[in-house]
């Protein structure tokens, strides 16, 4: 919040508070930064001299300051002290550090839908506490909302009026800002909590577009538009436009209640924070990715993320834990995956895993120049055949052929030594191969 030095005409002490800086000036008076003897900082507003001479204003001001004392809530600036009988009445509220919503939008531009919905949800909760205390703010606008590190805060409750009170129509005593006043305020009708709902809708529209939903112009032009023209919401995001349009309804009965507005804004804020749009909140939306063996830089995004999510849903539906195909390869049909592509293995072996009794044998593939082998893992934690499966089959075939040739060569050499030993050696040949042992006499007894 911008601060200015005290002017010569400004007081230095008001009540028990010492004034340090000028925070701003409004239609009712000047706001100062002050502190008490304990060092507590306050925002202290001193009423204008001409309003201080109006007895009707003083009486209403006294009633509404008393009502403001009853407000309790984390989204409001607490009323600290007030003097209603002073020559110039004043009141002090808790000082809230941080820029106003008006200044933030003016300096940084429109806020995102998630930010606007989050701020609106907090403000509607604050208004709920205000309305429960029987008070209507009547001047809710971007400059009366401070964005503190702990969340938005509503200020200027010294000008709030009790529910059912009519507006001040005398010259110089009208409270409110053109473009954020409700139609019933302009007509001089009784104010209700719906009056603040209208102002909140206009304020959130300003946060979305950096402009009032009724444009710019003189006070008379703005008040006419508020009463007779519809709000301009062309720049408001689709997620918020219908809700803000209902807040800006001309008839107070057509506006949402403070509680329903708070719940709806919370829902929109949560949905926008998760990057979703349209429809009610999905309980599974925004859930974290399944635990996979992947570096953070390889985490899928965009279309790949959608593909992974679809495959995860299909696996849950089918009740299987089949490995997830790599995004760069086309998916393999289940029939093709279940059909063995090589020779039929021996009895007792699993045709898909190659192990006995259904145990999976990890498939390895060489990595690097040294021929070291590392298991190929899938994102679901299982293992799948590597790209060198055909080469492995060729090596096995070569190994078997060489083994047969060696066995036959040894058998032929033994046959040259005599008929009896030759027959025994030849007869031992098949037994040697079947048993998987290279040697002419394995499992054979000589006569």
Phi-psi region of 46 (alpha: psi -120 to 50; beta: other; left: phi over 0): beta
* Rounded distance between C-alpha atoms, residue 221 and residue 385, angstroms: 76
CB 365 within 8 A of CB 376: yes
Tell me the three state secondary structure of residue 91.
Answer: strand
CB 383 within 8 A of CB 364: no
Q: How far is CA 114 from CA 212, 275, 363, in A?
A: 20, 9, 48
Q: Beta 90-94 vs 79-83: how paired, if at all? A: antiparallel
* Rounded distance between C-alpha atoms, residue 130 and residue 127, angstroms: 5
Q: What angle do CA 135, 141, 142 make, to 5 degrees?
A: 135
* Rounded distance between C-alpha atoms, residue 44 and residue 80, angstroms: 9
50 carries an active-site annotation = no
DSSP letter (8 states) at residue 235:
T
Two structure tokens written together for 446: 């000589």
Q: Which of 400, 374, 121 is nearest to 269 (CA)?
A: 121
- Catalytic-role residue among 54, 132, 139, 251: 139
**What's the residue count for the chain?**
447
Two structure tokens written together for 69: 């004392």
> Alpha helices of 275-388 — where are they, by DSSP H?
303-318, 334-338
Please name the residues in contact with 413: beta carbons below 8 A apart, sequence gap of 6 or more: none
What is the residue whose two structure tokens read 């200015």?
4
Tell me the three state secondary structure of residue 210.
Answer: coil
Strands (E), 99-202: 135-136, 145-148, 151-154, 161-162
Two structure tokens written together for 256: 């949402």
Q: How far is CA 144 from CA 8, 137, 199, 442, in A?
A: 27, 10, 11, 99
Q: What angle do CA 258, 259, 262 make, to 5 degrees?
A: 85
* Rounded distance between C-alpha atoms, residue 300 and residue 286, angstroms: 15
The residues annotated with a catalytic role in the active site are 139
């Amino acid at each position: 919040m911008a601060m200015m030095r005290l002017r010569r005409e400004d007081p230095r002490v008001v009540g028990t508070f010492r004034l340090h800086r000028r925070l701003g000036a409004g239609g009712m008076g000047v706001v100062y930064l002050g502190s008490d003897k304990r060092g507590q900082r306050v925002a202290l507003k001193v009423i204008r001299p001409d309003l201080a001479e109006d007895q009707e204003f003083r009486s209403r001001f006294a009633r509404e300051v008393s009502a403001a004392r009853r407000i309790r809530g984390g989204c409001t600036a607490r009323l600290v002290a007030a003097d209603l009988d002073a020559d110039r009445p004043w009141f002090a509220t808790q000082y809230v550090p941080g820029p106003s919503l008006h200044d933030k939008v003016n300096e940084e531009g429109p806020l995102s839908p998630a930010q606007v919905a989050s701020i609106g949800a907090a403000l509607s909760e604050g208004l709920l506490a205000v309305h429960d205390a029987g008070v209507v703010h009547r001047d809710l606008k971007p400059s009366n909302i401070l964005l503190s590190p702990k969340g938005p805060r509503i200020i200027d409750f010294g000008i709030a009026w009790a529910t059912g009170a009519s507006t001040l129509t005398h010259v110089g005593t009208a409270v409110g800002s053109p473009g954020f006043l409700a139609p019933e305020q302009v007509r001089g009708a009784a104010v209700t909590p719906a009056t603040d709902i209208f102002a909140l809708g206009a304020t959130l529209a300003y946060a979305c577009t950096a402009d009032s939903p009724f444009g710019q112009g003189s006070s008379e032009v703005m008040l006419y538009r508020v009463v007779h023209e519809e709000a301009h919401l062309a720049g408001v995001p689709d997620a918020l436009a219908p809700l803000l349009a209902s807040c800006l309804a001309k008839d107070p009965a057509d506006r949402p209640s403070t509680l329903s507005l708070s719940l709806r804004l919370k829902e929109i804020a949560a949905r926008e924070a998760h990057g979703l749009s349209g429809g009610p909140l999905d309980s599974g939306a925004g859930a974290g990715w399944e635990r996979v063996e992947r570096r953070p830089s390889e985490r899928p995004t965009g279309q790949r993320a959608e593909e992974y999510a679809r495959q995860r849903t299909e696996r849950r539906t089918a009740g299987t834990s089949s490995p997830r195909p790599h995004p760069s390869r086309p998916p393999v049909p289940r029939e093709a995956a279940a059909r063995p592509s090589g020779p039929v293995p021996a009895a007792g072996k699993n045709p898909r895993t190659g192990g006995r009794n259904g145990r999976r044998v990890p498939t390895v593939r060489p990595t690097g120049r040294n021929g070291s082998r590392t298991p190929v893992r899938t994102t679901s934690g299982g293992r799948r055949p590597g790209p060198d499966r055909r080469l492995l089959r060729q090596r096995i075939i070569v190994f078997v052929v060489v083994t047969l040739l060696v066995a036959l060569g040894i058998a032929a050499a033994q046959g040259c030594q005599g008929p009896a030993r030759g027959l025994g050696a030849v007869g031992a040949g098949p037994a040697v191969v079947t048993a998987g042992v290279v040697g002419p006499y394995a499992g054979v007894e000589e006569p």
